[in-house]
Structure 1
């Protein structure tokens, strides 16, 4: 787990520009990252405006007929969000730009000090149903060896990471490696303002988030863990659990930061899912950095996410994150054979069909 060097708490209501200026002055190595976060925030304000208009802004959730580099169908708002982020970063000290919506790394200013990876619009399947969506970002120091080396490195080398969530209110959850802070977009002046400092993931973990419709495809460690949770207070975990699933990583993350719990998007037996589905560079690494900075943990089921080194730009990974105690328990299901069963719960000793 990364060491968390907590910054001195800033006053609630402080504007994001003032916060970033204070951070850059106190830690010069973070100056470029702070300037880049400010640029990303300007793009987020515009994305929030588009999102708030809903159908009045056109068919934002309509498929464009094109696909991104990973083969996912692009929605109109995916493309617009990517353009807004890229445009904003031209005014920031950014050398290289990697996006889920781009086929390759783009060079903006090769002598600049940071490289930025972005999922411009996470959860785009939820656009038309008015469920929270977001923008995820990761900021690395530029590697002198060039564009690829700037991103193909362990996630623990990130300078900053965060996400914007566009929901009932627009929020920014941000780490600059000094803990995690929450900002909310003030609708009166369109300024992000500090709402809470030093966010931590609550230790209580009576919720889990997973797409249960895929349970028949899960490998035994994940299926056994979920079965044990579903058995409630009478089962091995000794607690009653609730399941949640929004199909928006930022929405799931925001709930875990608010209420605790654990998120699982495991590898499974389906073609194309054997190595997981979430992108390591754009999604898993920044979320893992945030989780660890908030006292939580993040793994692929066995290995710590922040130690994984990408070998491909759009590399996928399983992701399990949230309450540290619960994440480490799930690792145990992967590495301790005695915890794992390959028999569905209805047919076990206490099951519905037992004699």
Structure 2
């Protein structure tokens, strides 16, 4: 077992104990972010106002409010970059590969820098972990909060040159106070170990998760633990405005989103499931399901929670665990899906229950309408 893996394993025990203790010790006057109901405001409310309303009602603290505002700023900056990419030479490859061995697009690198910069500047983020970075990074500028933010700065970037929708995904955890790096006394190896311990938390510990989709409009969707809310960027005022109040995914749907090009590498059970969709799914003999696959997780997921159905990126004989990352993609999206009344599953277990063994871990991923995901699980 590698040092990083063993650190992750130790972190789970420490995190569960400290999280339980913190939650038990919260005073009645300060609710946890998970309890937020977002009763204040509704359709038409600016994102910054909505955040302040949550803070005024003591649903979140001021430090988390600053982190959320900074993420909103990062999304605005990336949206602008995506819109101008073809005009300013930001399309194409950057000439580098990330830690997973994937070719990085120029906008991957730029978007990662944007997220890292705004999160450092808040002073409230203790550890940041990006899909594009080799290891989690401790933030020396932190003077309060010490929140842990994990993110995929530009999901679906392989589509960017064709102007297909892309997006950013993030999740926010509370830092374990026993794992906060001490830059004055600890060496680099110890600091890195503490960063790994802070990041390797199961999705059940998420305080917030969200994504921003860059398409015909720029839409920011997030949950603070009770309900899912969507905000559309109004370019005339430069602000996200609430456009989706308390999103609920339909219990079932007739749309599936899988890359069927990998069909021959799937398990027999998954092939049987896919074949059944073409004859009505659980209701055999009814209208076949419609196939809709963009190839961008954020775009496919957003359509799925609005219209219902199922999105899947399964494992196959070439990639047994699929290609989506647990920390940066699957766990945040599963948290959102569950808060909207849907599900997030590996095909065999709830994604939010999966304990990370390493920070770039991949898992098979299925999400969407509850009945559709349950139907898929019956074949797995």
Say which is worse superposed, 233-242 or 178-187, in terms of deviation.
233-242
1:61-72 map, 5 Å: 61-72=91-102
Asked whether 1:315 is paired with 2:345, we answer no
Matched with 1:337 is: none
Asked whether 1:85 is paired with 2:133, we answer no
Preserved CA contact (<8 Å) 1:33 1:159: no
Preserved CA contact (<8 Å) 1:98 1:116: yes
Matched with 1:140 is: 173
Asked whether 1:227 is paired with 2:307, we answer no
Matched with 1:26 is: 57
Preserved CA contact (<8 Å) 2:36 2:60: no
Preserved CA contact (<8 Å) 2:40 2:53: no
Preserved CA contact (<8 Å) 2:36 2:59: no
Give, in whole Å, the separation in 2 of the partners of 1:237 and 1:121: 40
Matched with 2:202 is: 154
Taking a change above 3 Å as real, the CA distance of residues 233 and 74 of structure 1, as seen in their structure-2 partners, is closer
Give, in whole Å, the separation in 2 of the partners of 1:252 and 1:325: 18
Matched with 1:341 is: none
What SS class does the counterpart of residue 86 from structure 1 fall into? helix
Matched with 2:183 is: none
Taking a change above 3 Å as real, the CA distance of residues 227 and 257 of structure 1, as seen in their structure-2 partners, is same
Give, in whole Å, the separation in 1 of the partners of 2:355 and 2:281: 39
Aligned-pair CA distance for 1:5: 6.3
Deviations 1:248-279 (CA, angstroms, capped at 9, x unpaired) = 00000110122111001001101xx1122100
Asked whether 1:75 is paired with 2:121, we answer no
Aligned-pair CA distance for 1:25: 2.4
Deviations 1:193-237 (CA, angstroms, capped at 9, x unpaired) = 111210011223100000000000001221111100112489737
What SS class does the counterpart of residue 379 from structure 2 fall into? helix
What SS class does the counterpart of residue 199 from structure 1 fall into? coil
1:49-128 map, 5 Å: 49-58=80-89, 60-92=90-122, 93-109=124-140, 112-128=145-161
When normalised by structure 1's length, the TM-score is: 0.89
Aligned-pair CA distance for 1:170: 0.4
Aligned-pair CA distance for 1:144: 2.1
> Residue 42 of structure 2 is aligned with which of 6, 11, 14?
11
Aligned-pair CA distance for 1:171: 0.6
Q: Unaligned regions of 5+ residues in structure 1, if any?
A: 335-355
Count of residue pairs the alignment pairs up: 329
Matched with 1:324 is: 370
Matched with 1:351 is: none
Preserved CA contact (<8 Å) 2:36 2:54: no
What SS class does the counterpart of residue 33 from structure 1 fall into? helix
> Residue 352 of structure 2 is aligned with which of 306, 312, 324?
306
Aligned-pair CA distance for 1:296: 0.2
Taking a change above 3 Å as real, the CA distance of residues 283 and 233 of structure 1, as seen in their structure-2 partners, is closer
When normalised by structure 2's length, the TM-score is: 0.83
Preserved CA contact (<8 Å) 2:250 2:306: yes
